[in-house]
Amino acid sequence: MENDRKALPDEELMLRLKDGEVDCFKELVLRHQRSVINIAFRVTGNHQEAEEVAQEVFLRVYRAATAYTPDAKFSTYLYRITINLSLNQVRKAKAVLSRFFSGEQGFREELETRETADRLPDTPLTSLEKKEVKKTVRKAIRSLPKRQRVAIILSQYEGLSYQEISKVLNCSSKAVERLIYRGKIKLKKELASFLQKE
Amino acid sequence: MDCRGVKKRLSAYLDREVDRRESEEIVQHINSCPDCTREMKALHDTCLLLREDVGVEPSQDFPVQLYERVRGEEDRYSMVKKPYLPLRSLPALARIAVVLILGIFIGTGLGSLTFRKKDVLVELKPGQHTVMGAKLDNFQSIYPQSLTRAYVNLSTSQRS
């Protein structure tokens, strides 16, 4: 039975979840949790926040199952929720930052704790240079304007085509191409020091 | 294709988003243009650097916490659906007793409604009791198997 579920497309799993097969939801989570968490992580820059966002994403998928109709690819729908919630999280974090800089009591300590947690490596690293590259790449991506950031993440990390990204962002393929082109030009400048070393 | 046109399409070319004809034009231009070759290499190396960041792994607790939240949602939903009489939680005999008692109350209520209709048609006389002042022959049309008939029979037998 479990092997049967693994062979089913996402849309079929959602329809079965609609009929009450909760195990289909678990299969969807297993398939997509890494992508969802990493999209949220690259947008927000914080692992803990990314997992909170991902939890909310999958909860919304679960709640929406009763009314689900396979009008579009499930992944398009999933990525759209992920990006919207991730960007909401970034907006909330900016509000936190403004309170930090205004000197609100307690906020400085809270934010410093979060930043420390974020500096801890997620996986063991072989050299300081690789660690530095990773940190700089993440910072460079977070410095991009929102739509360029999202387009780059979906293209370079999730392997989506321009056409698929256009459906997630609700724009034309040409617009996606422009977003990615401008994003890469900015990233090329941000990462110039590493490129010269190569 | 000139340098400006090629540079604009290099990103799409590297992402394999150009058709075959355009791809050939870009390759032809790059082979003869050092500037565009440098630009393509820089973009290509930027993409390679991006991929150095392989991302993060979900924490072990992630699915467990998620399923707990889902279970919480299910509990809230079932309470909303069945907020009142939890009949299913009672044993079978208790359920039958509840249904019977409810049936008696409903039957009596309906019977007195039927009786009151008869009252409206019959002139009530003060002092008469048990069947609220109406005469017995007014009850001929009451359904013989009804609770109202049973009550009337009982009260008349008590009077006699």
Structure confidence by residue, pLDDT tens digits, B132-159: 544 445 555 556 666 666 766 776 666 5
- From CA A1, how far away is CA B86, in angstroms rounded? 34
- From CA A38, how far away is CA A51, in angstroms rounded? 9
Domain contains B121? yes
Distance from CA of B55 to the nearest CA of A (A): 6
Q: Does B17 contact chain A (CB < 8 Å)?
A: yes
Q: Does B60 contact chain A (CB < 8 Å)?
A: no
Number of structural domains found in chain B: 2
Give me the sign of the Cα torsion angle A69, A72, A77, A78.
positive
B120 pLDDT higher than 50: no
CA atoms within 13 A on the CB side of B12: 21
User: Exposed/middle/buried for A122, CB within 10 Å: 0-12, 13-18, 19+?
Assistant: middle
Domain contains B72? no
Is the ipTM higher than 0.85? The answer is no
Mean pLDDT to the nearest integer, B88-99 = 77
Domain contains B82? no
CATH number (1.10.1740.10, 1.10.645.10, 3.30.420.130, 3.90.700.10) of A1-120 reads 1.10.1740.10
- From CA A167, how far away is CA A183, in angstroms rounded? 19
Entry pTM: 0.68
Q: Are residues B46 and B94 in the same domain?
A: no
Q: Are residues B41 and B100 in the same domain?
A: no
Domain contains B150? yes
Q: Domain of B16? A: 3-50
Q: Are residues B104 and B44 in the same domain?
A: no
A34 pLDDT higher than 90: yes
- Residue B76: list chain A partners with CB under 8 A: none
Q: Which fold has domain A121-198?
A: Arc Repressor Mutant, subunit A (1.10.10)
Contact B145, B139 (CB under 8 A): no
Domain contains B137? yes
Interface of A with B (CB under 8 A): 22, 25-26, 29-30, 33-34, 37-38, 41-42, 47, 50-51, 54-55, 58-59, 62-63, 122-123, 130, 133-134, 137-138, 141, 152, 155-157, 161-162, 177, 180-181, 184, 187-188, 191, 194-195, 198
